[in-house]
Amino acid sequence: MLVENKLVQIGVAAGELKVSVDTIRRWAKQGLIKSSRDGRGNRLFNVAEIERLQRKLSGTGEEKPFTVLRSEKTYPRATCVDLFAGGGGTALGFHNAGIPHVFLNEFDRSAVATLCKNSQAHGFDWNICPDDVHEVDFSKLDAQVIQAGFPCQAFSYAGKSRGFEDTRGTLFFEFARAIRTIRPAIAIGENVRGLVKHDHGNTLTTMLNTFDELGYRVNYQVLRAQYLDVPQKRERLILFATRKDLDLPIIFPKENDYVVTLKEALQNVPQSPGQRYTERKAKVMERIPEGGNWRDLPDEIQREYMGKSYFLGGGKTGMARRMAWNQPALTLTCNPAQKQTERCHPSETRPFTVREYARIQTFPDDWEFCGSMAAQYKQIGNAVPVNLGYHVGRCVLAALGEIPLEETMEVVAPLSLRSERPTNSSEQGALI
């Protein structure tokens, strides 16, 4: 019996478990197991976790069924404003965590229709504003939490403050304007992982300095959804800011030691429409094995299908890509049939359907999406996974003192914003 939480280097783990080093590396690359690093930068693995993975892959381990996480209790004082709400991934996740919403803003017509339809169907009674965020009067709102999945944009650096005023003309400015007006106890920002290096780190620097200027302590982490009850290798950067005068902790969810696979997630998924491949593409895709990509094709077909991309550098493994049943899906995009980011069903030669897409993003089966099929895929593909939102929401509740700190959470120190290019060791350590 292996010792729980025993961390060893890759060679030791391979020896104890009688697998090759390459096998462990492959599992790590596939996002099936986590790793951390010691003080010298050596990669460490939890041997008990690898043992559980072995049992799971062999069919002798316990399966983790698809579950949309929900709290049985609502916390009325933990009121929330949600900006750039989209199809409702984060809003539903926060709601399921027990956080009530007093205001949601979204401009896209199809997404607004989705929010309205589900709010009514599920009895949420959400106050949904379809206006352009630039026109929203935040002075009429009162909330303990503001959450915003704002688009990432580069900023101008003409000024010296690199703070609030330098964000004008961006949608992040509207998030900051809401914070300055409402003065919530906690502000949560969400974006893609690439924000960390966007414009050589200057964009994130400006955002962090803006929080500081507005009177908030802040830190950030890149959360890996496959370790937070989501059957998908999706990474989202979460900014967690707390008002300085309230002295609240900054809390992030800890990663689980298990993943939810597509086999577990897509059991008994409801039938629904979905995109289809052209006849030409289908003939190519049907030759791709489970978990494979264009490199598994004969060279002459590779050249024909890839075109000029065949001669470019990089892995290009998103092209002609078929998912695997025993893994989480790759990050979903807004178009599952797009050539550069294809997401083919593991055993059928077709893209994922709308309801399969929704399952992978951990939306419940009774969450309906409005608009054209393209609009539905876009809403789902752009969403924060509901279960990821749930975990962040529970951390928000703990920071507010509404629930006790749980073993699945960790308190982190706020960033020191003295340098222009802050680094975050916790974010770096979380990445494989």
Q: Which two tokens stand for residue 302?
A: 């590779």
Q: Which residue in the list 116, 129, 152, 370 is annotated as catalytic?
A: 152
Query: Which residue blocks in 2-108 are alpha helix, DSSP H?
Result: 10-17, 21-29, 47-58, 89-97
Our answer to whether residue 129 is catalytic in this structure is no
**Contact 399/99 with Cβ under 8 angstroms?**
no
CA–chain centroid gap for 406, Å, is: 21
Residues in the chain: 432
Active centre residues (catalytic): 152
